[in-house]
Amino acid sequence: MAKQIFQNLLLDGTRLCDMTVEDGIITELSPAGSTPAGPETNAAQNVAENAAANVAAPAAEIHDLRGKLTLPGIVESHVHLDTTMTEGDPHPNESGTLFEGIEIWSERKKKLTAADVKERARRAIRQQVRFGVQYIRSHVDITDPNLTALRALIELREELKDIVTLQLVAFPQEGIESFPHGRELLKKAAELGADAIGAIPHYEFTREYSVSSLNYAFDLAQEYDLLMDVHCDEIDDEASRGLETLATRAFEAGVGEKVTASHTTAMHSYNNAYFVRLLRLLQMSGINFVSNPMVNTHLQGRVDTYPKRRGVTRVKELTAAGINVSFGQDDIVDPWNPLGTGSLRDVTLIGLYVTQMMGAAQIDNSYRFITYNGARTLNLQNYDIAPGNPANFIVLDADSWREALAFHAPVLESYRNGHLIYEASAPQRLWHF
Ligand code: 17E
Ligand code: FE2
């Protein structure tokens, strides 16, 4: 696979391009039609013909992408691959609350083995790849004296590195200060090879623990030079204010682009006077946000009567203020989301509705929540369909993002370093009327 030419790919929803790839790296983007035409049917045959004709240019595989929408690999910026596919075990979450989910998981966690974690995570990743995902940030619960899930997913990160980029966050589900040896477990996770450090300030026993847990996690991330991604204020309590501590530490250390606040659902309930004050700090800090609109519309507002809060963070206002926000699914078939599929199209759709980002430009730009914005959250380098970058991209059965979003266009092909990692044929549909 030395040289490949991908023809007629629709970039940015507007530009029809040809793309040259050498040894898995994009070397050139040019207007469609500017690269030599080849038989559309068979790339292998084309290579053979080029070789037989002994043409001057090196033989190239030619792929016609037929003017279909091409995007860089989708970024899942927040999922839990240790808990995936455990829904109903030991029992379903009947209250639909975060807290019941944590209790159920705490039971299930006792049965973890490396083989169990890897088998379920692989199944979830296959679903994600089906929907175009190539980059995944997974939280992994490290409030387990054996760190079974983390060890297993570190192995899987290596085993699947040619298929997906897997980032692992050491996530203290049951607390840093409020769980036995929580601090030591988090440190051990950093030593074992986690990519990022997490925290859960709204779950700690006290406000003081909430602040000290964030300081401990922040210092640890600095010491090990790791990214940070905190489950931050995932509660309908307007007094939950871990975010201000996290953003202040990030601002003062000048590391905002490496720090992420996930969920921040309490921000939905903050009074506007406080929010306006906070927004200035958030802008100054440069931290990233991940919203999980599907799961948080399900989990939040559960102790409200009516009216019921939506409990999704202020995506519209943060975005308008120039702050980076990406979307995640959070859960695929586990105690917090029985119906997660791995499709970030579903998440984006719900996100647009629930945050009322339904203006024309907001809809047309919404792919950014699960592509470029996600890449920024994950601190990815070389993410884009551009010369010099790895040929990591997907082809959707649609002529525009709006069409893909509205009509749930399937992913037809997914390429990673120029290698086809997934393909599906466009469904044939017949209407008998
Ligand atoms: N754990 C947590 O604290 N919050 C969540 N949304 C999930 C797990 C899914
Ligand atoms: Fe989460």
Q: What is the mean pLDDT of residues 253-282?
A: 98
pLDDT attached to residue 57:
57
231 lines ligand 1 (CB under 6 A): yes
173 lines ligand 1 (CB under 6 A): yes
List the beta bridge partners of residue 267: none
Task: Please check whether the domain covering 74-377 is classified as CATH 3.20.20.140.
Answer: yes
Best residue among 82, 87, 106, 336 to mutate for probing ligand 1's pocket (most ligand atoms within 8 Å of CB) is 336
d(CA 388, CA 391): 9
Q: Where in the chain are the domains?
A: 4-67+385-423, 74-377
82-101 pLDDT tens trace: 999 999 999 999 999 999 99
pLDDT attached to residue 36:
86
Tokens representing residue 119 in the block: 């088998």
Distance 140 CA to ligand 2 centre (A): 10
Tokens representing residue 159 in the block: 């085993």
Least confident of 14-28, 51-65, 155-169, 247-261: 51-65
d(CA 338, CA 88): 8
- State the pTM of this model: 0.95
CA neighbor of 66 nearest in space, from 429, 426, 417: 426
Distance 291 CA to ligand 2 centre (A): 9
**How far, rounded to the nearest angstrom, does the alpha carbon of residue 416 sit from its chain's CA centroid?**
17
pLDDT attached to residue 58:
61
Which atom of ligand 1 sits closest to the CA of residue 173? 3
Q: Collect all residues with Cβ–Cβ distance below 8 Å to 252 and sequence separation of at least 6.
A: none
Q: What is the mean pLDDT of residues 240-250?
A: 99
Q: What is the mean pLDDT of residues 326-350?
A: 98
Percent of the chain with pLDDT over 70: 95
The single-letter DSSP state of residue 58 is: P
pLDDT attached to residue 13:
85
d(CA 236, CA 310): 9
Answer yes or no: is pLDDT of 271 > 90: yes
CA neighbor of 93 nearest in space, from 338, 323, 287: 338
**Contact yes or no for 75/384 (Cβ under 8 A):** no
3-state secondary structure of 89: coil
pLDDT band, residue 40 (cuts 50/70/90): very low
Q: Collect all residues with Cβ–Cβ distance below 8 Å to 272 and sequence separation of at least 6.
A: none
Distance 419 CA to ligand 2 centre (A): 31
3-state secondary structure of 393: strand
Block residue for tokens 């860089």: 72
Answer yes or no: is pLDDT of 41 > 50: no
336 lines ligand 1 (CB under 6 A): yes
- C-alpha dihedral (246, 250, 253, 257), degrees to nearest 10: 160
Active site residue 234: yes
Identified catalytic residue from 234, 238, 257, 317: 234
Class of domain 4-67+385-423: mainly beta
Q: Collect all residues with Cβ–Cβ distance below 8 Å to 314 and sequence separation of at least 6.
A: 267, 268, 275, 355
Distances 310 to 1, 68, 267, 268, 396 between C-alpha atoms, Å: 50, 36, 11, 8, 31
Q: Do the first three CATH levels of 4-67+385-423 and 74-377 match, i.e. the same topology?
A: no
List the beta bridge partners of residue 197: 170, 228
Question: Average model confidence (pLDDT) for the chain?
Answer: 95
pLDDT band, residue 254 (cuts 50/70/90): very high
Answer yes or no: is pLDDT of 52 > 60: no
